[in-house]
Amino acid sequence: MKWKLTLKEKNLPKFNNPVFLEGLPGMGNVGKVVVDFLVDDLKAKKLYSVFSNTMPHSVFVNDKNLVELPSINIYYKKFNDKKKNDLIMLVGDVQPIDEESSYEFCEAILDLCHKTGCKEIITLGGIGLQDVPKTPKVYCTGNNEKIVKKYTTNTKATSKIYGVVGPIVGVTGLLVGLAKIDAIALLAETIGHPMYLGVKGAREILKILEKKLALKVNLKELDKEITGLEKEMLKTTQELAEVSNDTAINKLKGKLKSEMSYIG
């Protein structure tokens, strides 16, 4: 089964120059943290649920000790302001698990972007480091120089990414590469460990999105979350730095024979 997008409303809303944001799990779950926060803070509505039998063959155990299938959903926020871009946001528990399903998934998302009249695509992710960055840097790359300049002008994002990362694996990279409209990836520094939650990096990305899209989100709520997480993570930071995702990276190094610090 190819990826199926099930509309959750009777009709597809009409959007005002929407921007598409992707935040699926990846390094530090930075993108997922950003989009989960935006969906909650902006009280976004569910637009589509996404399913395919090529999703990972696993379930999660919830806080009620019951199993749940992994989910991927698409939300939207209409601002009813002609001067502001509406948002369409992709977030979920998993990513496609292989190359073929990744391409099929991205093609389905790009079809949706065309159908809804999206003007830009912004994918979000992390760059894995060995230690916790005090103030994470945000790197920007895209499918044309104009869109990269837009998101690096008067922000702390830098476009000097060549040599910092290798291939950007997964939807975060592929969606930008396949897009026919303006598309960028914003990648924040975080720890290269699958159990680390890159909330600080997410905050730096949110500052850039706030400046460029005028979202008016409440970053104080995220600051509270950062403080709480830091207290927990400080106890295990040294262990996390030692036990990174070297195994996954080394496998890809073997295939690509190149240095790599980012996994989609």
Per-residue pLDDT at 239 exceeds 50: no
Q: Which residue has the tokens 């990276």?
A: 249
Q: Worst-scoring range by mean pLDDT, 64-68, 73-77, 162-166, 178-182?
A: 162-166
The 10 Å Cβ neighbour count of residue 252 is 15
Average pLDDT of the chain is 86
CB 93 within 8 A of CB 25: yes
Confidence at 21, pLDDT banded by 50, 70, 90? very high
Greater confidence, 193 or 78? 78
- At the topology level, CATH places domain 4-256 in Rossmann fold (3.40.50)
Q: What pTM does this model have?
A: 0.85
Which amino acid appears at position 104 of this protein? E
Distance, in Å, from the CA atom of 160 to the CA atom of 156, rounded to the nearest integer, reads 12
Kindly state the helix (H) or strand (E) to which residue 149 belongs, with its residue range: helix 145-152
pLDDT at residue 238, rounded to an integer: 45
